[in-house]
Each structure stands twice: as C-alpha cells, then as structure tokens.
Amino acid sequence: MLPPFQKAIAPVNDTHDDLLTQQATPEYLDEQARLLAGLGFSRVYLIPPLNAAMAPWRYGIRRDLEARTAELLDRFGDQDPFRATVEAAHRHELEVFAVYKPYEGGAHRSVPENDPAASPHTSLPQLGGPGIVADPFLVQHPELRVRRRADAALDRLAAHPLTTIELVFCMDEVLQPGIMSSQPPVVFSGQPDTALQTNPVESVSIWTSSNNGTYDRLSGSSRVSERVERRTLFDTIGREIPGGPRRCRVVRVSGLNCDGGVRYLAISLVARDPAQFVTIPFTMIRAYNADGENMPVTVSDAPRAANNPVSPESNRLCDRGFEFDPMGFYYREPGWRATSLFAIARGRNDFMHGTPCEAYPEVREQWLRDADYLIESGVDGVDVRAQNHSSSVVEYHEYGYNEPLVTAYHDRYGRDIQAEPAEPLKMMQIRGDFYLQFIAKLRSKLSARGKKLQVHLHGNYEDPRLCGDFNEVAFWAMPKILPDWKRLVDLADEITIKDYYFGSYSPQNAANIKARAADAGKPVWIHCYQQQGDDLNRDFCAAAQADPTVSGLLLYEITGHGSEHGSAGDGLVRIDGDGTAELIPGAVDALRRLTRYGK
C-alpha cells in the first residue's frame, strides 16, 4: 500500500464565493480558519474580490449595487471583508497568500441591452449586451482593453441590408477531440446524400431582436433551399480542416430584407433528427448582402441560461437572448457541434471582453495599486495568476492590436500589422514582455515589504502552439500572452504550475520549468483540483510524491456546496444553516486517507 502524500498541501479559497454567495459573517471566517488549521494546514491561498461588484468597499460604492452586497456590508460594518478574512487566518497561525489575477477584468457574462442588471459602475459595452461584473478601472477606461484588429471595409459591410443566411452542415463523419488527448473523441456519424430526403429541413424560422433579449418571429416570405456540395471547411480561427473538401448539406435562406436596424437574428431549424446537423458554427454559418458579399457577423449557439424553450406555436423565441463569444464554449478545436438553433450578431467584438492590455503603463500601474491593497490587507505573499474568466473570444488570433503593441511589433519585426496581420504567437510574446515588466516591479514592491512573490506558469510556455485546447496558450481562460518562462522563474520566490491533469498527474508536464525552479531552491506547487476535477486520488498523489521537483499541492478549491456528508470532490468546509462553518466529513475522510493532513 502506498504511503500517504508527505509533501506540503495548501487549500485555495475563492473568497468572494464566501463573502457574497454564502452570506458569511466575521464569525464564520474565524471558524473556517480554525477548522483549516485544525486539519494540519499551515498556509492558505485566498482569491480576493477586487472589482466593484465584488468589493464595493474599495470604491465607495456601498448601497447602490445588489441587495446581497448591502447585506454583506451590514454584516461587516466599516471593516474591509477581505482584510477580515486575512486577519482570521493569521489568528489561527495560517500563512496567507493572495491569488491575484491581473487579467480578471470581468464582463465575461453579458445581459440584454438596456437590462437593469447592467450597473453603470460595473458594466462594459460588448457584442450582445453589456458585460457585467466589470472592473471599475476598465469601466472608466474601456479603451485600455485588448483590441481587435480594425478592418474598415468589414465595418462598412456590417451595416448593409442582410438578404441571405447560409448554414453548412458536414455530412461526412467527423471527430471532435475529447477535452484532453487521453479522452475519446466525440464521433459525429456521416450521412448519405439521401439524408436530404429522409431527414429534410422541415421548416426554418427567422427571429429578430433589437437588444439580444426577446426575439420575435420575422414576418414576410423567404425561400429555403438545401443541396449537397463539397466544401473546404475551416476551424474556429479559419485554419483549413485537414482531409480535403467534405460533403456538406448547404441550407440557404434567401429573400430576407433585414436592414441595418436589425442587429440580431436567430435561426431555428425543425427536422426529424436535428442531431445530424453537425457544424462549426462560427465558420460554417454565414450572412450575405444583396451583392453576395460575406458580411462580418458573430455566430452563437449558446442561449443564455434563462431562455424559455423554443415553441413553434409562439411568435417569441426567448427572453434573455444569446451569449456571443461565450466563456468556455469551445473547449477543444476545431469546434464541431450538433445543434439546430443559432444566433447572428452584426459585427465582431472590438475588445477582448474585460481583458486589460498590459502594454499600457496605466494598466500596469493599476495592477500595482491592486498589489498595494493586498499588501495593506496583511497578506504574506502574492501568487500572480494570468488565467482568468475575461479573455474568451473565438477569434483569439485577431486580438492584440493596441497602439503600443503595434509599435512594439514594428520595432521588433519591421512589419506594419495594421496593414498585414501579426503572427499570433509573436504577438503573444510581445505582450508577454510587457507582462514581465509588471512582474519585475511587483517583485521589487513585495521584496521591499518583506513579502513573497509566487507566479503561475504553464507547461505550454515551454513549447507553445497556436491552439485553444485545455492547457494551451489560447485556451479560453488564458489572456493569450507568452512571457519568457525562464525570466518568470528567476523573478519568483515560488512558482505554481496552473495546468489541468484530470485525475492523472504527468511529471513530464512543465518539466523544464519545474527543474529550473527546483535547481534554484524555489518551491514548486501544482494544482490538485478537488472540485473541478478528480485529482485528489491515490495515483495522482503518488505520482506527485515521486516527482522530486514538486514541493506541494494547491488544493483547489475548499469551500464546498455538496451534500451533508460530501466526497473528495465537494470541498472541505461549508457554511451550515445558522451561518457557521463546518467540515464536510466525506471530503475530510478522503484527505485523511491520502495524505498526512485531515487530522
């Protein structure tokens, strides 16, 4: 039998979940810290609430946001709730690291235009409606976000009347890879040409909306045709799908007359077996004007969670619209989907949601002000995580065209990327250099105050490839930067490998990064996903124990919402009915069996 995991373990807690979702009190925070110390932990990582919706006390916004925020402030009075969390941990002799996410600017989720949920303090303009829970710095300076490549010709086309929609569905067998390479792919079976007779499109409904909220059925006549063609197909960022042209069902809806005032359209198909309609929505669904020109549109097949079901008898499709460039939508490229409901928005997102551009000195200075807040809150160290929830855009290769980045690219490569698109990986490297400027200044600031700097790195930094899969540089939660990993290791006191293992630790992942840190005597932590994965298992712990470059596990994350007894995947501590903290027995039992913790 394998011995228990003997290296360090530190729990990670999303503080804003405690403060806003669980209605915590100062007493709850103290009890939570006591329980964690009692399990044998000596360090805890806290992800602080930093933007105005999560931390209104930082911005003087106290009573005019959500009711739960007002309740939170009532419970804590004049005390800063995050500082109270740090102080509670210190009272129980826990070392505290703040996990700081500089690219977490919010706006990853939107609401319909003119929706009352879009507070002027905390929303940013984007395609489909205001992005909410945004950082007030970006609300005040939206132009400092990562910008899309400008194309004046496409912008003019976006206002033209839309007359035709073309939907292309692959009829040959295709494979959509699993989330990880070890997982089996999803197989979409091919159909014969006769599928147009045995499974025809029975009806097509077109719906329009002015605000991406309620969609009303479009009146008037339109023509629907379908035929089989061989088409060269492209993935979500326009790369040709290998294997040559494929047989496709091409459905054309023509005779439309949607002028520029119709900003959003939805298309619903009715067929006997809609699961046969397999497509890559963003590149295989297109809109044309009367001259047959391909119009710039953004396609979504992601209705917002509050939608009503589609009803053929109703003249209204939904009440909350669609999310465009939705968070985490394309987990793996090329992005095959089987669906029969789509939405189209005119144009493209001009900015990468709530992602600040590190090339602006004002952005780096704001990040350092955030660090000052964390230091003043009493933390012992700062762990910088580039990964965030604000950087999900389908065409990630089209972003990074802010003026200082354009200048830096020209200075390094002698190319005007306003006339000729940049090479995406080279742009990511330039952005990574500006990010390193911030890290270097943060290191100096923390060192002067006797605090430690920890930095998140990824295995893809060693051998980057242009890909949006899990653990790749363009994964939806990555800001699309490529910093010099050797420089990052040298600047940090400790490092974190922030990669997903899905239950099976691989010592080969980030091997060079871990070796450089270990050779310099710097602790290396790896993420052990407790709630978002099944990493807390015997094989994972044994493999991490055997890796000499690994110093410890970051147990992510520990505030649970599971059943009364819970399991290894339910977190360790939860709030009970009367607002006090309690351990989750099943999860603690699993921790005890696998490690020297959980006493």
Which token pair is 535?
A: 């990493």
Closest of 66, 211, 212, 59 to residue 138, by C-alpha: 59
What's the pLDDT at 69? 65
Contact 262, 175 (CB under 8 A): no
Q: In whole angstroms, what is the distance from residue 428 CA to residue 465 CA? A: 11
Q: How many alpha carbons fall within 13 Å on the CB side of residue 552? A: 19
Alpha-helix runs per DSSP H in 63-181: 67-76, 81-91, 136-140, 152-158
Beta-strand ranges (E) seen in 304-441 are 337-338, 341-346, 351-356, 381-384
What lies within 8 Å, CB to CB, of 201 at 6+ separation is 224, 226, 251, 269, 270, 271
Bridge partner residues of 494 (DSSP): 454
Encode pLDDT of 37-54 as tens digits.
999 999 999 999 876 556
Number of neighbours of residue 500 by Cβ within 10 angstroms: 16
The helix (H) or strand (E) run that includes residue 546 is helix 538-546
Which token pair is 109?
A: 């989720």
Place of tokens 């407790």: 530
Query: How many helices and strands (H and E) does the chain possess?
Result: 15, 28
Mean pLDDT by 10 residues, the chain (599 residues): 86 85 83 96 93 65 56 79 94 98 92 87 92 91 97 88 97 88 86 96 92 89 94 94 97 94 93 94 95 95 71 72 79 86 94 97 96 96 96 94 98 96 97 98 98 98 94 94 98 97 94 98 96 89 97 92 71 82 90 91
Q: What angle do CA 40, 450, 484 make, to 5 degrees?
A: 90
Encode pLDDT of 184-203 as tens digits.
899 999 999 999 999 999 99
Long-range contacts of 179-187 (CB under 8 A, 24+ apart): 179/331, 179/332, 179/469, 179/470, 179/502, 180/470, 180/500, 180/502, 182/502, 182/504, 183/502, 186/336
What lies within 8 Å, CB to CB, of 52 at 6+ separation is 58, 59, 61, 65, 121, 122, 135, 136, 139
Closest of 456, 239, 458, 237 to residue 330, by C-alpha: 237
Beta-strand ranges (E) seen in 232-364 are 246-254, 264-271, 278-279, 285-288, 297-300, 337-338, 341-346, 351-356
pTM: 0.95
Q: In whole angstroms, what is the distance from residue 295 CA to residue 157 CA? A: 6
What's the pLDDT at 319? 81
Which token pair is 267?
A: 């298309």
